[in-house]
Amino acid sequence: MSDTQTFLDTLATRSQQRAGEPTWIAARRQAGAARFDAMGFPTRRDEEWKYTDVRAIAKGNFALADNAEFSQAQAAAITLPLDAYRLTFVDGVFSAALSNVDALPDSVQVMPLSKALTDNHEAVGGPLGRLTGVDFSTFAALNTAFMEEGAVVRIAPGTVVEKPILLQFLSRAGTPVMSHPRILVEAAGRSEATLIEHYVGEADAANFTNVVAELMLDRGAILNHYKLQEAPIGDLHVASIHVEQNRDSRYTSYNLNLGGALVRNDLISDLNGQGAETNFYGLFFGQGRQHVDNHTKVNHNAPLTFSNENYKGILDDRAHGVFNGKVYVKRDSQKIEGFQSNQNLLLSDRAQIDAKPELEIYADDVKCSHGTTTGQLDEDAIYALRTRGIDEATARGLLTLAFAGEVLEKVALDAIAERVELAVAGKLPERFNLAGLVEAAAALND
Partner 1 sequence: MLQVNDLHVTVEGKEILKGLTLTINAGEVHAIMGPNGAGKSTLSAVIAGKDGYEVTQGSITFEGQDVLEMEIEERAQAGLLLGFQYPVEIPGVKNIYLLKSALNAQRVARGEGEMPAPEFMKLVKEKLGFMKMDASFLQRAVNEGFSGGEKKRNEILQMLVLQPKLAMLDEIDSGLDIDAMKVVADGVNSLRAEERAILLVTHYQRLLDYIVPDKVHVLVDGRIVKTGDAELAKELEANGYEGIEESVA
Which chain residues interact with partner 1 by CB under 8 A?
378, 380-381, 383-392, 394, 398-399, 401-406, 434, 437, 440-441, 443-445
Residue type for position 338: G
Quote the least distance from Cβ 108 to partner 1, whole Å.
34
Quote the least distance from Cβ 340 to partner 1, whole Å.
20
Quote the least distance from Cβ 77 to partner 1, whole Å.
23
For residue 16, the SS3 value is: coil
Nearer to partner 1, 103 or 444 (CB): 444
Contact, 286 vs 262, CB < 8 A?
A: no
Quote the least distance from Cβ 267 to partner 1, whole Å.
24
- Phi and psi at residue 255, in whole multiples of 5°? -105, 95
Nearer to partner 1, 240 or 374 (CB): 374
Nearer to partner 1, 72 or 387 (CB): 387
Nearer to partner 1, 27 or 402 (CB): 402
Helix pair 435-445, 414-427: axis angle to 10 deg? 160
For residue 162, the Cα-to-chain-centroid distance in whole angstroms is 22
Distance CA 22, CA 34 (A): 20
Nearer to partner 1, 65 or 434 (CB): 434
Partners of 160 in the β-ladder: 192
Quote the least distance from Cβ 392 to partner 1, whole Å.
7
Quote the least distance from Cβ 383 to partner 1, whole Å.
7
Nearer to partner 1, 56 or 390 (CB): 390
156-168 in b/e burial notation, b at 16+ Cβ within 10 A?
beebebeebbbbb
Count CB atoms within 10 A of the CB of residue 292.
28
182-216 in b/e burial notation, b at 16+ Cβ within 10 A?
bbbbbbbbbbbbbbbbbbbbbeebbbbbbbbbbbb
